[in-house]
Amino acid sequence: MKKYMIVGLGNIGTEYAETRHNIGFKVLDALSAREEAPFETMKLGDVATFKIKGRSVLCLKPSTYMNRSGKALNYWMEKEKIPLEHVLVITDDINLPYGTIRVKTKGSDGGHNGLKDIQEHLGTTQYNRFRFGVGADFSKGRQVDYVLGQWNEAEMEKMPERLKKSTEVITSFIMAGVQRTMNQYNNT
């Protein structure tokens, strides 16, 4: 049976729950609700598992905080023997307009500390990532406040549709592969 791991980046704690930086957790919560697969607190994170047409899926919300995401990802990849090409990392991206989806197979960390830590643990920049645009509506020097800030009313209004689309992207990644997913969903 093929195994996949979907890693949503974010920070643990209620004070971070509705922040832009936690979109990875939010997307996984939507996926777990759709699949009726509740999260359980386990080593280095919260884990939910389910199957889609003969494929086994492990969803991980690291409890290591954003800047140490690579430790949890690496642990669960090795423990479950999941190949790197079957891993998808979901992260916020200030370089994309709100709600824009971009799936990539490689790239730089773009200044994102969670991605930076993952790349250090994996020893490569060649891994699948799902970037969810959060926009860049902040003044110089206010980036941290922005990504750790709450969604505004307009963003919250569009969130259910964006989360539904995000779960479709993940299902496509699992069922059709990363190239087809990029072709179908990038910039939607």
Question: Could you give the residue numbers annotated as active site?
Answer: 21
| Three-state secondary structure call for residue 186 | coil
DSSP letters spanning 109-153: -TT-HHHHHHHHHHT-S-SEEEEEE------TT-HHHHHTSBP-H
> What contacts 179, CB < 8 A, 6 or more positions away?
none
Strands in 45-52's sheet, in edge-to-edge order, are 40-42, 45-52, 55-62, 3-8, 87-93, 128-133, 101-104
Question: Residue 108: how many CB atoms within 10 A of its CB?
Answer: 10
Yes or no: say if 125 and 106 are a contact pair by the CB < 8 Å rule. yes
Half-sphere exposure of 156 (CA within 13 A, CB side): 7
Yes or no: say if 147 and 62 are a contact pair by the CB < 8 Å rule. no
User: Tokens 């690291």 belong to which residue?
Assistant: 62
